[in-house]
Chain A
Amino acid sequence: MPDESALESIAAELGRAIPGAILGSTHVHGRATLLVDPPHSHEVIARLKAGHGYGFLASLHGVDYYPEEPRLGVLYELLDMVNVDRISVKARVHLASRR
């Protein structure tokens, strides 16, 4: 799991590479999470895979945050199998934009 500063540097690097993709980052209970703009989520994950080694999608799940808005969340739990390092990517989507 990247620590706070490593997560910030990953977020900054991704933000530079894909403008507007990174909306924020949180490091809570030892879990590093990148909050991404939904249209850019696959691009961000591809970059995390190619550039940072997070090649194993350990889990993909959805969360209903009702009554918060945006209501739905999509979480990708990624794992770097070489360094056994984990990172989460979260995309929040409105109910209207679900498919």
Chain B
Amino acid sequence: MEITRQSADAAWAPERPSEFRAAQLRARDMLRGDLDVAELERYVEEGVMTTTLDKALAWARGNAFFPATFGLACCAIEMMTVVAGRMDIARFGFEAFRASPRQADLLILSGRVSIKMAPVVRRIYDQMLEPKWAISMGACCSSMGVFNNYALVPSDKFMPIDVHVPGCPPRPEALAHGILKLRDKVQGNPPEGWRERYGAIGTEEILGAQAADRAALAGERPDSA
């Protein structure tokens, strides 16, 4: 097969939109000429599916997670196993772990979160673009698990979690089950922003100068805000 290189605009997009429409009509006429009425109807019944754009988008989104490359503790070892040959989570479009929150849309908290680590985790989550999702993997980051002491904090305390996966650590099958649960949730087309999803509108943190402004408006001292 001969491969010819040409600029994108010349290759498939004609200069005028009317030419694009003409190409569409030509394709339809070709189909009409090849098939008679009964065959054409059968072809359409077998080969054409109708849906809504929202559903198609949710289907695609649920099958193309880009998790952040982020592990916290021993659960991370099980998380790595999910992408290996036995579980092969790539079957669900999941294998592209991204090392930047700019490109990731899923954060898997795999392990215990210490109080020192919590602001870092929250910062990574805040840097991700919406729609974004989070899985809390294992007992430690869901309920502090066996390390239940002053140094740990459950993930629900500082960020929204979409799916909790129980276990200590959860087996890869359990994480895969959690991922599929999340996929079902995403394909149900929930609100994209997490504050809308969890009824958290109006709970935005008030920080710095903004807090002082609001306190001044309310007639309070800034330090009491």
Contact = CB atoms under 8 A, between A and B. Distances in A.
Contacts of A97: none
A56 B20 contact: no
Contact of A81 (B17, B126, B210): B126
B193 interface: yes
Contacts of A82: 207-208
Interface in A36-71: 56, 58-59, 66-67
Given A66-B13, A81-B127, A58 B193 contact: no
Interface string B1-25: 0000000010001000100100000
Interface residues of B, number: 18
B29 interface: no
A95 interface: yes
A83 B207 contact: yes
B102 interface: yes
A11 interface: no
Contact of A56 (B127, B193, B196, B204): B127
Nearest to A67: B17
Contacts of B127: 56, 58, 79, 81
A58 B9 contact: no
A82 B9 CA distance: 42
Contacts of A30: 192-193, 196
B143 to A, nearest CB: 26
A77 B129 contact: yes
Interface of B: 9, 13, 17, 20, 102, 123, 126-127, 129-130, 192-193, 196, 204-205, 207-208, 210
Nearest to A60: B102
A29 interface: yes
Interface residues of A, number: 15
Nearest to A56: B127
A67 B21 CA distance: 10
Contacts of B123: 81
Contacts of A29: 192
B126 A84 contact: yes
Contacts of A83: 204-205, 207-208, 210
Contacts of A59: 102, 129
A58 B196 contact: no
Which of A79, A83, A86, A95: most chain B Cβ within 10 A? Answer: A83
Contacts of A79: 126-127
11 contacts: A30-B196, A56-B127, A58-B127, A58-B129, A66-B20, A67-B13, A67-B20, A79-B127, A83-B204, A83-B208, A83-B210
